[in-house]
Amino acid sequence: MQPRKPRQIARELALLSLSQLPANPKKLTEDQLPKLVLAAVRTLRSEVQDTLDNAVGELQRSSDRLLSSQTRATDVNTARTMVKEAISYTQTAINQLSAAIEFPELIQLANQDKEVSRYAIEIVRTVDEERKNIDEQIGTALVDWQVTRLAQIDRDILRIAVAEMLYLGVPNSVAIDEAVELAKRYSGEEGHRFINGVLRRVTQQQKQTV
């Protein structure tokens, strides 16, 4: 597992920060921006504990299924099914523990690396100030859908990517790749494919307007 770069951490903090904003917020002041990012760091600390608790629960379910396969299975096929379920629970727990291991590093970088907090604040400020135009770009790229009907996490990931492409000088391909990675971590099972498709249509729209 390769360590993530400061801007990757900053995007994640920006995403967590945006999730704390009301649907129609007033313009943020310069004093509010750092506080919003700080609140996101605190959210991460809470996430670590929740993730560990969930992993413990999955391991307990795995143990229960293994015990059942030994004491309650009436035939080989039933026992095999129970063992497969136990393995699945264990794999889920391992994935959750892997995520929990990453959070302390993220929190440390957010607290110590000025580039992380600076860029996170810059993303949040840009999304806040340019939200109308950003949402128009996203809305035009959506097929038979509206920005306001998107899941919040998908909407915020798209906003970050479009803000980077339009206002922060990030190459389109980089912004899309980073958005897809964020979606893999935070969105639903098909979220990263949906976000990839929307952002590619956004870039096509930009080419047509040039």
- Measured distance CA(74)–CA(69) in Å, rounded: 9
How many alpha carbons fall within 13 Å on the CB side of residue 113? 19
Number of C-beta neighbours around residue 151 at 10 A: 12
Per the listing, tokens 């310069």 go with 30
**Coil, strand, or helix at residue 104?**
helix
Whole-structure pTM value: 0.66
Residue with tokens 């136990």: 86
> pLDDT per position in the chain (210 positions), as tens?
455 677 888 898 888 888 776 555 566 666 666 666 666 666 665 565 566 667 667 667 777 766 776 666 667 677 667 677 777 666 666 655 555 545 545 555 555 557 777 888 899 889 988 999 999 999 999 877 788 888 888 999 999 999 999 999 999 999 999 999 989 888 877 889 999 999 999 999 887 775
